[in-house]
Structure 1
Amino acid sequence: MSNVGLIIEERSRDIGDFLVGRLIPFRKKRMIGPFIFIDHMGPTKLGPNKYMDVNQHPHIGLSTLTFMLEGELMHEDSLGTKQLIKPGSVNWMTAGSGVSHTERTPKSLRNGKEFTAHGYQIWVALPKEHEETVPSFHHISGEDLPKWEEQGVSFTLVAGEGYGRKSPVPTFSPLFMVELKNNEAYILDVLGKLKGEIGICIVEGSIKACNELISKGNILVSKVADVCQIELQPNSHILLFGGEPFERDCHIYWNFVSSSKERIEKAKNAWKEKTFPMMESDSTYVPLPSL
């Protein structure tokens, strides 16, 4: 019997001029480990009159992980951070009790030339005891992430722990995110190397699992403890992510995540009344949606 728990197909949505693919949350699978939200940005051509501009918006109760594959983004937030992210690096913002931020195409790419933007915007829910932690921001250069090769396959540990290594990204719960790229077919063996639930996001190429061929634009969800044999097809690019699942429910409304519905209501009211922590460097404002 197949032990592929679920295959989630990317669902497209438009955020202004930028098309993204929503991977989770999904009605049959709200979280994978502590990962509660994954948007696939692009790949899409931007410029000279089309750029990515996400105006000021709020977060509570989570950490955001931005990972670019192509193109660049400028992050600014209510902490006073201004940080350019380039391919292979990580922007990790912990919202905790509340933070506002923007993400935009940097001025250096607004030069009339066309370029490709491609990456992932990820939310990691915080454990209950850390939901109200003081907000913080960390940028980790791609050069500082653990990298290695096995049988011709290149690995990068983007966040968390796995394969006997630890990423410098300051996480709050047991999790992992690993990037793999291969040229030749490769049998993926994660037993004893990763702990918790696992999601396999296919960026390029395809994988064969439990006699099914799964192509790019999908996530395969299973448990590390009983995952079937997975074969990466030649010239594939995948992301492994997941970790220990929470023993409690996480509520999510727009950009707010919390174990308490009352806390989310408080954040909604603060944003509507503009008493939420706001940026001094930006006057834009994304209104609270009616969901």
Structure 2
Amino acid sequence: MTWAPCPDPIPGEAESVDAIEMVIVPRAVDLGEMEVRRALPSLKRQMVGPFIFFDEMGPAEFLTDQGIDVRPHPHINLATVTFLLEGQIIHKDSLGSDIAIEPGAVNWMRAGKGIVHSERTAPDKKASGQRLFGLQTWVALPEQLEESDPAFIHHGADELPVVDLGGGSARIIAGTSFGARSPLETASETLHVDVILPEGARVPIEVGVEERAIYTLSGTIEIAGQSFERGQLLILRPGDALTVTARSDARFLLFGGEPMEGPRYIWWNFVSSRKERIEQAKEEWRRGRFETVPGDEAHFIPLPETIGKPRLATGRSHA
């Protein structure tokens, strides 16, 4: 399908020039074979719409006998969204899900009242080596759905709409954008779009949802005369339309959604609107009361005892 663009912003107009509310440079953590860049939560901003956690994984080159090995660990009151650009990860969880996560697919794991999962490199990929590059984000659930039943939802790359941007493309991972809607059913109005632009291409970003952000994955983009390199989180001002121009071949993620009805607490892998619920989850994991991953009952990540108190995370509307 082809999408018709809207008018460009006008240089010099405040509503065009001030379209970027803030720029966040993620903090990088070297995990040995792979670097992870964490953009959310940050000191400047903790949430964008329902998104409370945003990690860029890699790109990393795993050689023979190397790979990721994230043992079973728990989550509550959130949904994880895994989207790969390169490579493969094997996801297993306490519901019995066992699936290879591959580029272009969306993998939505709703923890609800509690789920346990592992993420590992498949034996054949470990034997041959692979390049891994992807994103993992966490989405807070509306308060009334926090204690819902856990679920794992997968849509293959061929199920997600890809919109022709006149040389570039936009894969609609979640929500509605560029005239197309993802089949993924989310707990609240959520925007999640993978945009690829060749050098010189321009694409208007519609307003759509209240809170939006752009994360630059590769290349250089320009917005209202400002240039942004890869690895930057751009918080967009609510209600402003803008145009992104690719100054080189570029790729970025457009994401956001409607803000939550209130702030959330976050501690380790737990998110909740209630601080006492996190304390309860900590005790349940410590005592082995979560469901286990079938066939992987002997392995788990122990509760980290050195992390401080749960942090309060707020979006723009609750700052």
TM-score, scaled relative to structure 2:
0.87
**Counterpart-to-counterpart distance in 2, 1:14 and 1:58:** 23
Q: In the alignment, is residue 170 of structure 1 matched against residue 182 of structure 2?
A: no
Structure number with higher strand proportion: 1
Label 1:49 to 1:62 Cα distance change in 2 as closer, same or farther (>3 A): same
Q: Deviations over 1:6-38 (max 9, x none)?
A: 111121114464321111111110001111111
Aligned with 2:283: secondary structure? helix
Q: Is the 8 A contact 2:220 2:230 kept in 1?
A: yes
Partner of 1:51: 67
Instruction: Give the equivalent residue in structure 1 for 2:24.
Output: 8
The residue type equivalent to 1:259 in the other structure is S
Quote how far apart the aligned CAs of 1:114 are: 3.0
Mapped contact 1:4–1:228 kept (Cα < 8 A): no
- 2:81 paired with 1:90: no
Who is 1:22 aligned against?
Answer: 38
Deviation at 1:122, TM superposition (A): 1.0
d(CA) in 2 for partners of 1:114, 1:286: 25
* From 162, 169, 174, the counterpart of 1:154: 169
Deviation at 1:171, TM superposition (A): 0.5
Aligned AA for 2:43? Answer: R
Identity %: 38
The structure 1 segments of at least 4 consecutive aligned residues displaced by more than 4 Å after TM superposition are none
Aligned 1:1-291 pairs, distance under 5 A = 2-15=18-31, 17-111=33-127, 113-192=128-207, 194-282=208-296, 283-289=298-304, 290-291=306-307
2:316 — aligned with what?
A: none
User: SS at the partner of 2:276?
Assistant: helix
Give the letter aligned to residue 191 of structure 2: F
Q: 1:180–1:237: 8 Å Cα contact kept in structure 2?
A: yes
SS in 1 for 2:205: coil
- The TM-score normalised by the length of structure 1 is 0.95
Residue type of the alignment partner of 1:189:
P
Secondary structure of 2:239's partner? helix
Any stretches of 5+ residues in structure 2 without a counterpart? 1-13, 308-319
Structure 1: state its 5+ residue gaps.
none
